[in-house]
Structure 1
Amino acid sequence: MSTSDTTATPTVSRAASARRRVLAQAGFEVGSLLRNGEQLLVSLVLPVMALVGLHATTSPSLGPGSRIDLAVPGVIALCVISSAFTAQAISTGFDRRYAVLRYLGVTPLGRGGLVAAKVLATLVVEAVQIAVISALGLLLGWRPQPSGIPYAVLFVLAGTWTFVALALLLAGTLRAEAVLAVANLVWVVLLALGGVIVPRTELPVGLSHLASVLPSAGLADGLRSALVEGRLNLPALGVVLAWGVLATALAARLFRFDD
């Protein structure tokens, strides 16, 4: 009588690839952003209300040209600022306070993967925002210049990078409560005086000069040039990129994972 020996082969689990780790974390970040009622209000409801309000009224002045054509790029810029800066600063600030960042930073995801996931999540949320605003704009009579759409995409990507870097700089250096207050205050100031909804050329002279060096006005000016005139606004792109480089360098140097 013969017996056959069976050798059990241990199952070796393989770690998920870096791409899958980033995508999984990005999915979690998207869910967190969309479940946050306050940030959903800032990210989507208020921009929709702003677009409808600008279309239904004649004040404030948006400059010469079709009012809805000038309003939609500004509202898209507001969407980018809301998601890339305000929402990310607040969520990151509280993740840092509750030690979520510290724990994620030592997992296989790593700090670089965490930042990549936040940027990817922001782009997903922005895609939803821009789709909603664009559809509403088209219903209200918006007619963008097709030749400028690639330039508009470039500005959205550059603006996302810049404002996420600014959000991480803020969230990584201040306490969560201060981040909440400052992020919302900056959002209001940029909305009113940063050349976002109202083009900087329509602001008083002093404010117009100040807004010209802000990333908010650079983003909004670039989107208006692209979608209204179909051209690439290089000075505006330079302003956005300069802020992106500066904010990235400062965030890399000053960001603290521990509160």
Structure 2
Amino acid sequence: MTHTLGLAPRPGAASRPRRVLAQASFEVRTTLRHGEQLLITAILPALFLVVLARTEVFTLPVSGGQERIDLVAPGVLALAVLSSAFTGPAIATGFDRRAGALRLLATTPLGRGGLLAGRILGVGFIQVLQVALLASLAVTLGWRPPLAGAALGALPFAAGTAAFTALAMLVAGTLRTEAVLAGSNLLWVLMAIGGGVLLPTGSRWLPSAALGDGLRAAMSLEVATVAVCTAILIGWAGVLTAGALRWFRWH
């Protein structure tokens, strides 16, 4: 067969970066089209932000000279990390595992590493959208965070994302799908309300409390507290990642 214009077919898989980006794009589209995940990742955090910042329904531990929005906004951003890095990936991975999609994708050129990389990258894309949406809403409500605080907050934000993504993989890779769905939603509620995410609890050894306290401290430029919280989150990320690698089941 003669090929025109000097072009020849190029059979084979796409390059690894293209495969990972394609998987990440698929993860983002799936999340944005899924009503329950959209509710947890965007609608509920925005609702918490407005209700806690603009109503007197709940009494907040606001210190002298601090506005309600100054306390609420970092907590809502921490809640966004919890939603995008834990609840959404845990549910999606659990259903993919039950349907056999994980086992199938593991045998494709994407591979297990590419699948996990694409899922993690997809979480990152969702978080960019979350931060843009929630930070814009908070600024509209009167939040004026220092630029240095935003840069400092990237440390607990990234460490928290790693810790909760590892927790999502551990839960989704070891429990039955029904237990993943119920457990991830229950943990989201418990960590959001009583786990130190939205409001400080006084103890930051839980990953949820370390994340919330770390972001609140960053916006107050409390460098020492941010360092401690980030270290705690990195420790949790290491332990949970080791557990996920040890016990994760692909089928």
TM-score with structure 2 setting the length: 0.93
Match of 2:117 in 1: 116
Distance 2:182 2:59 in 1: 27
Contact 2:152 2:221 in 1 (8 A): no
Q: Identity of counterpart residues, as a percentage?
A: 48
Distance 1:7 1:44 in 2: 54
TM superposition outliers: structure 1 runs of 4+ over 4 Å: 6-10
Contact 2:169 2:248 in 1 (8 A): yes
Post-superposition shift, 1:7? 5.8
Letter in 1 for 2:47: M
Match of 2:211 in 1: 219
Deviations 1:21-77 (A, max 9, x none): 000000001111111101100110000000000111232313312210111110000
Distance 1:45 1:75 in 2: 11
TM-score with structure 1 setting the length: 0.90
Distance 2:139 2:165 in 1: 28
Consecutive unaligned residues of structure 1, counting only runs of 5 or more, are 1-5, 202-208
Deviations 1:164-217 (A, max 9, x none): 10000000000111100000000000011111111123xxxxxxx4xx211111
Q: CA RMSD for the aligned pairs?
A: 1.5
Match of 2:13 among 4, 12, 15: 15
Contact 1:155 1:219 in 2 (8 A): yes
Post-superposition shift, 1:150? 1.7
Match of 2:126 in 1: 125
Match of 1:63 in 2: 62
Report which stretch shifted further, 231-240 or 94-103: 231-240
SS of residue paired to 2:104: helix
Query: Map of 1:1-259 to 2, 5 A cutoff?
Result: 11-58=9-56, 59-64=58-63, 65-201=66-202, 209=203, 212-229=204-221, 231=223, 233-258=226-251
The structure whose Rg is larger is 1
Report which stretch shifted further, 108-117 or 54-63: 54-63
SS of residue paired to 1:196: coil
Letter in 1 for 2:29: G
Distance 1:252 1:170 in 2: 12
Post-superposition shift, 1:157? 1.5
Match of 1:204 in 2: none
Distance 1:246 1:255 in 2: 14
Contact 1:162 1:240 in 2 (8 A): yes
Distance 2:116 2:152 in 1: 25
SS of residue paired to 2:61: coil
Consecutive unaligned residues of structure 2, counting only runs of 5 or more, are none
Distance 2:53 2:17 in 1: 42
